[in-house]
Amino acid sequence: MQPLESAILRTVAYFDLFRYPLTSWEIWKWGIGRAGEQYSYRAVEQALQESALLQEKLELSAGFIFLRGRSAIVKDRQERYRLALQKLDRAKRFTRTLVRIPFVRAVFTCNSLGIANARAESDIDFFIIVRSGHVWVVRLLAAGWAKLRKLRPVPGNRADKFCLSFFLADDALDLSSLRLPADPYLTMWVATLVPLFDPSHIGAAFWQANAWVQRALPNATPRDLAQQRHVPQPWFASFLALLLRPLVLERLAERLQRRTLAPNLRELANQDTRVVLNDRMLKFHDNDRRQEYATAFAARCSALGV
């Protein structure tokens, strides 16, 4: 098997985990090869058209490429794309609330919305970059407001709710400390973030700080802040920042939130990379499935002989 054939099969196999068939351009952009491998789009197209091995293991329908026997996922992608557009509009509306909070530097939506692959029952995930020294205050205001408005996901009621589970200080942008030994999900997660608010272009600094992503995905580039997604920040956010700047308020916000942590989060806090609580990162992913995805991906690759 040629290295390019292997890279194509690995890429299709990874996205198959999420019932997500790919176009040839997406296979090129998100190509999961081995370290140091990089191929042109023309080479990918040529391999898809001429390789007997790829034609044996892959199928094409409605412009999408997928593992043989998996044609049902084409309809899934088309339906989930429609749902994702609706959820993205909802995310943009809620971002108008988030940007009223002082110290918020950038807001991204992520996970299933990062690739427009949302299910009807899924919530809407946010990743928020915060001015250093204020992660606890921002999380208290954001999550507190969402809870008061009954907009946070709860068991049995997650559809279209807002998951505010990842806050990062702007002086701690490198996420390499979170990586598992094999972690394709985190790599793809970073590469598919969708910016909704980024007036100071902190997203570019975030991308540079996580250069390991582009080493794994050499054709990937950060998403631009499209005009139709842009959310402006109101003038009074700067005024509120002056009121909330004292360090004592950050410590009070931390103390309050640590006291009210759910028991499962308190138990997992800082034990591994699932739940991380400190002055630079607040990550509440008690149901972190990255190891599960890595294992399933390895199994698919093994079945394909790559």
Q: Is the pLDDT of residue 241 over 80?
A: no
Instruction: Give CA–CA dist 277/167, Å, rounded.
Output: 10
In this predicted model, what pLDDT tens digit does every residue of 24-33 receive, in sequence order? 999 999 999 8
* pLDDT at site 244: 66
Q: What percent of the chain has pLDDT over 90?
A: 86
Q: How far apart are CA 303 and CA 306, in angstroms?
A: 8
* Confidence (pLDDT) at 207: 96
Give the model's confidence band at 234: pLDDT under 50 very low, under 70 low, under 90 confident, else very high: low
Nearest residue to 121 via CA among 130, 108, 132, 112: 112
Residue-level pLDDT at 228 = 44
Contact of 11 with 32, CB cutoff 8 Å:
yes
Lowest mean pLDDT among 242-246, 297-301, 302-306: 242-246
Here the tokens at position 9 are 């099969």
Quick: pLDDT tens for 144-178.
999 999 999 988 899 999 999 999 999 999 999 99
Model pLDDT for residues 47-102, shown as the tens digit of each residue: 999 999 999 999 999 999 999 999 999 999 999 999 999 999 999 999 999 998 98
Q: What pTM does this model have?
A: 0.91
- Say which residues have a Cβ less than 8 Å from residue 133's Cβ, sequence separation at least 6: 169, 247, 250, 279
Over residues 222-229, the mean pLDDT reads: 65
- List of residues 6+ apart from 76 with CB closer than 8 A: 19, 20
